Structure 1
Amino acid sequence: MNQKKPSRREFLKTSSAVTAGASVLGGLSLARSVHAQGSDEIKFVLIGCGGRGTGAAAQFMNAHKNNKLVGMADAFENRLSGSLNTLKGRYADQVLVTDDTTFTGLEAYRKVLEVDCDLVMIATPPGFRPTQFKAAIEAGKHVFMEKPCCVDGPGYRMLIDTCKLADEKNLMVATGLQRRHEPRYKDTVKRLQDGAIGKIQFLRVYWNGGGIWNRPREPGMTEIQYQVHNWYHFCWLSGDNITEQHIHNLDVGNWVMGDQHPVEANGMGGCTARYLGDAKGTGQIFDHHFVEYTFADGTKMYSQCRHMRNCFNSVSEHAHGDKGVCNVGGGTIEFFDGTKWKTEEKGVSGHQQEQIDLSNALRAGERYNEGYYAANSSMTSVLGRVANYTGKVVKWDDIVNNGPTEFPEGPLSWETPAPVQKDENGDYPIPIPGQYTRLV
């Protein structure tokens, strides 16, 4: 852990050309610290101890009584201690964390990777995930990584290369796109892929909801501390809400299309309610997006996401074919001949089911790699965001290879200058379509 780590740029210079590969199953593990088939105990560490990280850890411990939490890392001590107290209160026999296996600060993830464990759970703000995923796989650990998995093209390229490394090491890569584990979604998507509604003509996907949380600046915080504290509101950390939340719906669209990804996008968006309201000056992301995505065969996917109060809300996905229309999450099809279909699969908690599946697979000695489709769906959201920020028609290959870099290079500390600074009016810069020129 003390040897010099290559920078993000140095790593990316050695990356191969980007293509989305299929996971490679089997093979001899090159890692020493991995769960052996037949062993009953799975030791895991948690990187990122906020609400989602705490929830994922709890759900993994729910999945089996011998899933044991042995280490934790977070940027903030109060986040870590709050999470630890919550988990200890519910899972006293499964939380084996000690003072020697808790770490705080922006580089704390490196230290917790030295703890003896089988699995690493990563639930930090999305901008950090490619680097932390790479470090965990290099350390020979299985990984569960929350979505989205990157916020820019360089992060995407790092993800793909790290997924290939995970395959070489026979390591599990699970991701937090939980709809993929829900029986209702799985049954419905299979029917669509088998041609139930005929040729897919277009897709509609939505994450339209109310406002989001906003954490005020605390006394004594440096600028980068504030931004990490209030991470949702900064593109270099969250990727904007089209990436942080809408990825779920975009992923379903890609899944329906046979795990293809769009090849281009155009759209529009902005920051209206938040900028004019009480959250002015707290961040830089848009509060509404609309994107028209185009797949290689010409099929369109129309995407909406919004964070505004007192508006029409929908979190859903819909497929339109020449024989009927499907509400994918609802598990229903209305055919044009007047007949209807509804899945018999029951709704389950996707967050819990994905941890049950992960726990069972590790114990059975099975390996799967969800990192490829998670990377593609993360990048799909980035493609739409860049289209909206620029006001241009943007191409997948251009944004993957030459798009703007959001996340800064190199080790970070609380004294590192933040990558986004306020202007002379005390506001953070919000992209203006037609004027945003950060494409290389």
Structure 2
Amino acid sequence: MPQTQNPSPQPSVPASLSRRRFMAGAAAASFAIVAPGAVRTFAANAKINIGMVGCGGRGTWIGRLFRDHGGYNVVAAADYFEDRTNRFGEELGVPASHRYTGLKGYLKLMDKVDAVVIKSPPYFHPEQAAAAVAAGKHTYVAKPIAVDVPGCLSIEDSGKTARQKKRCFLIDFQTRADPFYIEALRRVHQENALGKFAFGECTYHAGDPFGGMYDAWRSDPDNPENRMRAWGLDRVLSGDIITEQNIHTLDVMNWIMDAPPLWAVGSGGRKFRPVGTCYDTFSLLFQYANDVAITFSSRQSNGYGTQPEGIRNRMFGTEGILETEYGGQVLIRGDHFYRGGKSPGIYQDGAVANIKTFYDSITTGNFENPTVECSVRSNLITVLGRMAAYEKRMVTWNELMSNTEKLDANLKGLKA
């Protein structure tokens, strides 16, 4: 499936946190939580009122999926830009009085909804998710969940608080909802289908999904509104491609290993893209315990037909090899063969499955919120890789987890 600009930049292919708390005192990095307001309980076949935060291409696209599910009413919308909020509202039937703009517009929809869907640029996810949980709302968050360590820990805390308050908190990864991935990883973890892990590879090779943002950036890259419109080209707003895009393959790596890496080392650069502050290529080595290393490479550029492309993982073991491809074949070769299969519609099908899970969890009162723990660790792995590549040195997991730097987008002058 080729890169597209509609519905939004998306994973492109050509055709659990550690049980220990990551760091002491992490609560200091989280947002304050206040007592929730009254929240409706739901029976089977009930309608859940949702508000969309982030009304760009993907926000509008996933808003349609929520509407088409049949169990939701899309009743409110918020985006910094009025044109996006209005376009979303007109398509999804949100009244003008429930459309909100500005950096803090999302706060105004809280008392109109039962659940909040967050599809804004990743930089804003921790703050917006914390506010939704504080308001007592069920919360659905796009990947990536954050752009820095404090943001990841804030999401971790929001997920835990949601569980305590009996609210659903779901992170939207498509691969973790795919039946072939689920079964293959079950066999790896529960049936030891690969034997002992030896080494692995993960790649994210694709075109540039942000070409439609070039003009906004070029017109005045120092203007914060232009940076907001071209957020995918901005290192702080997006987290760079390793966090915003490559997280899909690094999440599968995390799923396979089910533990954090010990350290990472590597490099990267901006070699192809003419604008922005993000890299468009990364090359890294992630070292895990027991002398297991996984190589990672990424590019967002014209591949000129080279194969293989896409979002791929291979894990080599003493008794077999796991091969996965986003939208393509998932299988296990070797002594414990698993034929698996292909999910060419994984981008939409995964989102549809997650929307159903969100609804079912709310209406049945299932507040385990299992997607939070693994998603936080996957996001932290991308930050580890980004630090290693930008600083051109080995960065350990312990060093990462002691990093309290919060990235600052410097959005002074924007309307609140």
- What TM-score, normalized by structure 2, do the two folds share? 0.83
Give 3-state SS (helix, strand or coil) of 2:266's partner: strand
Cα pair 2:237 2:409 within 8 Å, conserved: no
- 1:153 is matched with which residue: 143, 149, 155? 149
SS at match of 2:167: coil
Residue 301 of structure 1 and its aligned partner are, at CA, apart by: 2.2
1:20-39 correspondence runs (5 A): 32-38=38-44
Aligned equivalent of 2:364: 364
Partner of 2:193: 196
Residues 206, 346 of structure 1: alpha-carbon distance in 2 compared, 3 angstrom cutoff: closer
State the Cα distance separating 1:246 from its structure 2 match. Answer: 0.9
TM-superposed deviation, 1:377: 0.8
Counterpart mapping for 1:60-99 below 5 A: 60-63=66-69, 65-87=70-92, 95=93, 97-99=94-96
Pairwise CA distance, 1:80: 1.6
Secondary structure, counterpart of 1:113 in structure 2: helix
Residue matched to 1:273: 272
1:157 CA displacement? 2.0
Distance (whole Å) between structure 2 residues aligned to residue 168 and residue 137 of structure 1:
11
Query: Within 1, Cα distance between the matches of 2:28 and 2:186?
Result: 31
| Counterpart residue type for residue 246 of structure 2 | H
Q: Which residue of 2 aligns with 1:327?
A: 323
Shift of 1:310: 2.8
1:209-228 equivalences under 5 Å are 209-214=206-211, 215=213, 216-217=215-216, 223-228=223-228
Distance 1:299 1:175 in 2: 28
Partner Cα distance (2:91, 2:44) in 1: 30
Distance change (3 Å), C-alpha of 1:397 and 1:404: same
Matched, 1:299 2:292: yes
Q: Counterpart of 1:104?
A: 101
Aligned to 1:163: 159
- Whether the 8 Å CA contact 1:153–1:400 is kept in 2: the answer is yes
CA contact (8 A) 1:319 1:328 kept: no
Task: Give, in whole Å, the separation in 2 of the partners of 1:404 and 1:51.
Answer: 30
Percent identical: 27
Q: CA deviation at 1:202?
A: 2.0
Aligned to 1:92: none
How far apart are residue 350 of structure 1 and its match? 1.0
Q: CA deviation at 1:170?
A: 1.4
Question: What SS does the corresponding residue of 2:52 show, helix, strand or coil?
Answer: strand
Once structures 1 and 2 are overlaid, which stretch shifts more, 248-257 or 322-331? 322-331
- Match of 1:357, as an amino acid? T
Q: What is the CA distance between 1:35 and its match in structure 2?
A: 4.1
> What SS class does the counterpart of residue 251 from structure 2 fall into?
helix
Find the counterpart in structure 1 of residue 17 from structure 2. Answer: none
Q: Structure 1 CA distance, aligned partners of 2:87 and 2:281?
A: 33
In the alignment, is the contact (CA less than 8 A) between 2:89 and 2:95 conserved in 1?
A: no
> Residues of 1 paired with 2:315 and 2:221: CA distance?
47
Q: Which whole-Å CA distance do the structure 2 matches of 1:286 and 1:319 have between them?
A: 26
Whether 1:50 and 2:59 are equivalent positions in the alignment is no
Q: How many residues align?
A: 375
Tell me if the contact between 1:75 and 1:105 (Cα under 8 Å) persists in the aligned partners.
yes
Distance 2:364 2:290 in 1: 39
Counterpart CA distance in 2 for 1:197 and 1:13 is: 35
1:393: which partner in 2? 394
Mark the CA change 1:340 to 1:42 in structure 2 (over 3 Å): closer, same or farther.
same
Question: Separation in 2 of the partners of 1:342 and 1:204?
Answer: 20
> Counterpart in 1 of 2:253?
253
- Per the TM alignment, residue 408 of structure 1 is displaced from its structure 2 partner at its CA by 4.7
User: Which has the larger Rg?
Assistant: 1
Alpha-carbon distance in structure 2 between the residues aligned to 1:328 and 1:13: 36
Aligned equivalents of 1:168, 1:382: Cα separation in 2: 28
Measure, in 1, the Cα distance between the counterparts of 2:292 and 2:37. 42
The Cα shift of 1:39 comes to 6.3
- Asked if structure 1 preserves the Cα contact closer than 8 Å seen for 2:110 and 2:135, the reply is yes
Kindly indicate whether the alpha-carbon contact (under 8 Å) linking 1:334 and 1:341 is maintained by their aligned counterparts in 2.
yes
Runs (5+) with no aligned partner, structure 2: 1-22, 30-34
Matched, 1:283 2:276: yes
Offset, 1:142: 0.5
Instruction: Give unmatched runs, 5+ long, in structure 1.
Output: 1-11, 19-28, 88-94, 417-440
CA-CA distance at 1:212 after TM superposition:
2.7
Correspondence 1:40 to 2:36:
no
Q: Which residue of 2 aligns with 1:432?
A: none
Distance 1:173 1:412, change over 3 A: farther
Cα distance, 1:101 vs. partner? Answer: 0.8
Describe the SS at the equivalent of 1:331. strand
Tell me the equivalent position of 1:350.
350
SS in structure 2 of the partner of residue 114 of structure 1? helix
| Alignment check: 8 A CA contact 1:34 1:119 kept | no
Structure 2 CA distance for aligned equivalents of residues 415 and 43 of structure 1? 27
1:437 alignment partner in structure 2? none
Aligned pairs for 1:308-327 within 5 A: 308-311=301-304, 312=306, 313-327=309-323
Moved more, 263-272 or 312-321: 312-321
1:79 CA drift (Å): 1.4
| Equivalent position of 2:11 in the other structure | none
1:106 aligned partner, one-letter code:
L
Per-residue displacement from partner, 1:349-382 (whole Å, max 9, x unpaired)? 2121111222222222222322222111111101
**What is the one-letter code of the residue matched to 1:156?**
C
Q: Decide whether the 8 Å contact of 1:189 with 1:328 is kept in 2.
A: no
Helix, strand or coil for the counterpart of 1:33? coil
**Cα 1:221/1:291, change in 2 over 3 Å:** closer
Using the TM superposition, give the Cα deviation of residue 53 of structure 1 relative to its aligned residue in structure 2, in angstroms: 1.3
Output one character per residue of 1:130-189: Cα deviation in whole Å (capped at 9) or x when no partner. 111100000000110000001111212212222221121111111111111111110111
Matched, 1:264 2:269: no
